[in-house]
A and B are shown apart, each in its own frame.
Chain A
Amino acid sequence: MIAATEPTTTWYLLLSALLFVIGMVGVMIRRNPLVMFMCIELMLNAVNLSFVSLAPRVANIDGQTAVFFVLVVAAAEVVVGLGIIVSIMRGRIHATVDDVAELKG
C-alpha cells in the first residue's frame, strides 16, 4: 500500500504554472478576441493561486491580501476589455482578430 502523498506548496505552484502556460498559449494561438481575453484572465488567476500558495511558505499574509487587489484589477480589466471588444465587433459578429488588421508596415 502506498500512502497518498500530502499535497505540498510545490504542487500548487506547478498547477499555477500550468494554468499560466495554458493561458499564455491560448493568447498566442486563439484568434477570437473574447477567448484571448479569457486566457488573459486565466493567466491573472494562475498568479493569484501562486500568491496564496506562497503566503504560508513565507509566513505572512501579504500574498493573500495581494489577491484581493488583483481580483479588483481583473474586474476592472473585464469592464474595459469588453467595452473595447463590443465597440469594435459591433456589426461584425463572426470577426476574429485577423479581420481587424489595417495597421501594418
Chain B
Amino acid sequence: MLAETLAGPEIPWLDLGWALTLLAGTSLLLIIGAIVPRWRKGLYATFTALTAVVSFVFLVILWGRVTDDGMASAIADSIAFDHFAVFSLVAVLVSVFLTVLVTDGYLRREEYDGPEMYALYLTAALGASVMIVANDLIVLFLGLETLSLSLYLLAASHRRRTESQEAGLKYFVLGGFASAFFLYGIAFIYGASGATKLPAINDALRGSIDVNSNDALLLVGIGLLIVGFAFKVSAVPFQVWTPDVYQGAPSPVTGFMASAGKVAAFAALVRVLIVALPSRVDDWQPVIWVLAVLTLVGGSVMAIVQTNVKRMLAFSSISHAGFILVGVEAAAHTDSTDAVSSVVVYLFLYTVLVIGSFAVVTAVSGRGDDATSLEDLRGLARRRPMLAVALTVFLIAQAGVPVTSGFIAKFGVITASVDAESYALAIIAMLAAVIAAYLYLRIMVSAWLADSTDDIPIEVPTGLGIAVSFCVVFTIAVGVFPGWLLTLADKATTFLGA
C-alpha cells in the first residue's frame, strides 16, 4: 500500500536535457579536473563553452516542443515549460558562453587557471535556470540560493586581491540577509493561501477575495517577497551592495553577475507577480511603481560622482534595472502582453551589452585586475583603437541611441508603459535616460579625448576578442534588424497557468 502512495512524479528527461547537461558539465569538470591535474591551455573554457552549446541545443528542441504541444508543467507541477522560460534560459546560456570566453584569458593572466570558476559558472547558470522555470515558491528559493551561493564564491574568487574577498563577504552577508526576507515572504504567502505552487496560490487567493481574515498575512508576505527580489535585481533602496560587489569582484564575474543574475531574478519576479498574484495587482503595482522611479532616478544620479569605471557600470546596471521595472509595472495591466515581451527583450539585449562592456574593462584592468579607474582608461583610443570602438558601441547602446540594440530595448519598455497609460513613469524613464547618458559620455570622453598617462600595453586574448566582436556585431545587428528577435519574443508573452 505504502509503495503505491509514494509513487514519485513522472520526470520528462528530454525536456530537462538542458539542466542535466549543465549538471553533468559541472560534475565532469570537477571530477576530471581533480584527477587530471593540468589541462591544456584553454581546455577548461572550451569544455564549459561546449556544455553551454549542448544545453542550448536541448533548449531549441524544447522550444519546438512547447510550440507544437503547448505549455506544460513537469515534476508534479513544480516547474513550468513555456516560451517565456525558454527565451530567458537562452539569455542565461548566452551569458555563460560569453563570460567563459572572457574568463579564459583572465584566469591565465592572473595565474589562476583551473576548473573551479568554470564549474561555479555552470552551477550559477543551473540555479538561474531553476529560478526561471520554477512554478513553486520553494523551488524558486532553491534556484535562488544555488545561484547566489555560486555568485558569492565567484565574487571572492580572486584570492590575492583583498577587494575581491571583501566583495565576496559583503555580498554573502547582505545576500543571506535578503534571502531570509525572501523566505519569510514565502512562509507568509503559504500561511495565507495554503499553497506554494504559483497557480494554486492564485486559485486560493481568487477564491478568498472577499474574506479578509488572511489579508494582513498575505500583504506582509508579498511585501517581504518583493524586498527579496528588489535586493537581487539591485533596485533602489536595496542597491547598497551593488557598487562595492561589482567593483571588487573579478571583472568577468561582474559581467556574469549583472547579466545572468538579473535575467533570472526578473524572470522569476514577473512569473510570480503575474501567475500567482494577479488578484492582488492593486496592492503590488504601486510598490513596483515606486521602486521603478527610485531605481531610475537613483541609479542615474548617483553615478555622476563616481570615478571608477566598474562602479559607474554598477550604477548603470541599477538604472537598467529601473527600466526593466518600468516594463514589469506595465505588465501589471494584464491586457498588455507587449509589456512582458519588452521585459524579456530588454533582459536579453542587456545581457550581451553588459558582458561586452565588462569584457573591455577586463582587458583594460591589466594584471592584478586593478586598473579600472577613469584615469586608467585615458588614451584607450590610441593604445587599442578597436577596444575603444567596441566600448563606445556598448556605451551608446546602453544610453539608448538609435541603430543599437539598447534603443530597441528602451523603446520597448517605454512604449509598453505608454500603452499601459503609465504616462508619468514613461516620462520619468525618459528623463532618467538623459541623465544616465552623462555617465556614458564621461567614460567615452576618457577613452577618446584624454591623453594617456602611461603606455602600458593592453593585451587582448583570443577568447576575449571573439566575445567582444560578437557583442559588437550583435548590438548593431539587432539595432538595425530587430524584427527576428521581436518575433521570437512576441511568443514569449504567456505564462503557464496565467
List residues of A whose CB falls within 8 A of some B CB: 13, 20, 23-24, 27, 33, 36-37, 40, 43-44, 46-47, 50-51, 54, 57-60, 62-63, 65-66, 69-70, 73, 76-77, 80-81, 83-85, 87-88, 97, 100-105
Contact = CB atoms under 8 A, between A and B. Distances in A.
Interface stretch (B151-159, B252-260, B450-458): B151-159
Interface in B140-164: 141-142, 145, 149, 152-153, 156, 159, 162-163
Contacts of B223: none
Contacts of B311: 105
What does DSSP make chain A's interface, helix, strand, loop or mixed?
A: helix
6 contacts: A24-B180, A33-B169, A77-B145, A80-B152, A103-B166, A103-B244
Give 8 nearest A-B pairs by CB, closest first.
A58-B194, A43-B180, A54-B191, A103-B244, A40-B176, A88-B165, A50-B187, A73-B145
A104 B183 contact: no
Interface residues of B, number: 42
Contacts of B188: 50
Nearest to B314: A105
A102 B162 contact: yes
Contact of A97 (B162, B168, B169): B169
Contacts of B196: 62, 66
A23 B156 CA distance: 25
B149 A76 contact: yes
B162 to A, nearest CB: 6
A25 B229 CA distance: 21
B187 A47 contact: yes
Contacts of A57: 191
A54 to B, nearest CB: 4
Contact of B169 (A46, A65, A73, A84): A84
Nearest to B166: A100
Given A66-B138, A77-B149, A103-B244, A87 B159 contact: yes
Contact of A101 (B156, B159, B166, B183): B166
B27 interface: no
A54 B162 CA distance: 44
Nearest to A65: B138
Query: Which of A83, A100, A105 has the most C-beta atoms of chain B within 10 angstroms of its own C-beta?
Result: A105
Contacts of B183: 44, 47, 70
A76 B145 contact: yes
A61 to B, nearest CB: 11
B278 interface: no
Given A40-B176, A51-B187, 19 more contacts: A27-B177, A40-B173, A44-B179, A47-B183, A54-B187, A54-B190, A59-B194, A62-B138, A69-B141, A76-B145, A81-B176, A84-B168, A85-B169, A87-B156, A87-B165, A102-B166, A103-B170, A104-B244, A105-B311
